[in-house]
Amino acid sequence: MKEGFGNITIGFNEEDEPIKVSDLKAQGAVTALMKDAMKPNIVQTLEHNLAFIHGGPFANIAHGCNSVMATKMALKLGDYVVTEAGFGADLGAEKFVDIKCRKSGLKPSAAVCVATLKALKYHGGLDVKECTTENAQALENGMENLLKHVDNIKNQYGINVVVAINRFASDTDKEIEILSHRLKEAGVELSLAEVWAKGGEGALDLAEKVVHVAQKETIKFVYEEEEDIKTKIEKIATKIYGAQGVEYTQEANDEIAKIEKLGYGNYPVCIAKTQYSFSDDAKNLQCKEPFKIHVSEVILKTGSEFVVIKTGKIFTMPGLPRVPAAEDIYVEDNGEIVGIF
């Protein structure tokens, strides 16, 4: 932890060389301040299952994974450990594989690709307000998006996968049957997860299917560590996103050249991209036409040991809804906390 803090770049000197926290001899003080952050937070689910909360940056603008420490600790305490790599197989799963697994040596035994019928219909062309109504054609159209995520997990990362459909009250039996038939044709295992209504009982089928497919621990990286930064970006863009190629601003080109000159070209890349599309355009949900990825800025992160690649119009400050949940949470006079549920 002290080494990581010491490696953080806080600026550059007049010779354009990085100035790090260790140059200020401040890494010990920062570590003293943050030492308790090393300890994963133990919490429990509503059904009293053990869970750790230790890190959780968004996968559209960061790496999307919890800490390696929490994952390894959990592996010593349970037969099966479930960890999240959020925002799809193009963002969270790619970074989980190419950054977290590469650095830690972890190899997942299986993956669960979670989807909803509402999301599939949205990607199939429906307005978001219409997604709770039955629409077989929109569902069919949206399945292409799901199948691309599944293909990434199975064939690009080499991980066994189960598709979990998070069922809601608006889902119809007809739509579920259409999806089940299509996934069966594609050779994909499907589980109807009803945890929203039934809690743990609604995930028993999913758990059994995960146990069944979790028979191997293999993994394939999308790129090699020794490849240059542009090669890494372009492999992710073409293999994982399905793009035709990548375009760079002059600023991005200059930043890449500078980073590689400093000797950090072997770092993994952490691409910041919209979670709504395989492209970098949040409104291009179906990606029917050929597209390119547009790199606007490249940022060196020596503390984390990766390079952040900003694409499209991504804004890297985490967003909040119009009315954040925090506005409804408070402590009553008797000390009881209300507003969390």
DSSP assignment string, 11-75: EE-TTSPEEEGGGGT-HHHHHHHHGGGGSPEEEE-TT--EEEE-----TTTS-----HHHHHHHH
pTM equals 0.88
Cβ-contact 151, 94 below 8 angstroms: no
pLDDT band at 218 (very low <50, low <70, confident <90, very high): confident
C-alpha closest to that of 53 among 95, 83, 97: 83
Tens of pLDDT, residues 178-196: 999 888 888 888 999 999 8
Homologous superfamily in CATH for domain 45-213? P-loop containing nucleotide triphosphate hydrolases (3.40.50.300)
Percent of the chain at pLDDT exceeding 70:
100
Cβ-contact 116, 166 below 8 angstroms: yes
C-alpha closest to that of 278 among 150, 91, 69: 91
Chain-wide mean pLDDT for the chain?
Answer: 92
Tens of pLDDT, residues 126-173: 998 999 999 999 999 999 999 999 999 999 999 999 999 999 989 999
Are 45-213 and 229-311 in the same CATH fold? no
Tens of pLDDT, residues 266-286: 999 999 999 999 999 999 999
How large is the average pLDDT for residues 57-75? 90
Cβ-contact 278, 323 below 8 angstroms: no
pLDDT score of 102 more than 80: yes
Strands 189-193 and 161-166: parallel
Q: What is the pLDDT of residue 291?
A: 96
Homologous superfamily in CATH for domain 229-311? Formyltetrahydrofolate synthetase, domain 3 (3.10.410.10)
Tens of pLDDT, residues 293-310: 999 999 999 998 999 999
How large is the average pLDDT for residues 198-224? 92
- Residue boundaries of the structural domains of the chain: 1-38, 45-213, 229-311
User: What is the CB neighbour count within 10 angstroms for residue 48?
Assistant: 7
How large is the average pLDDT for residues 93-101? 96
Percent of the chain at pLDDT exceeding 90:
76
Tens of pLDDT, residues 31-42: 999 888 888 888
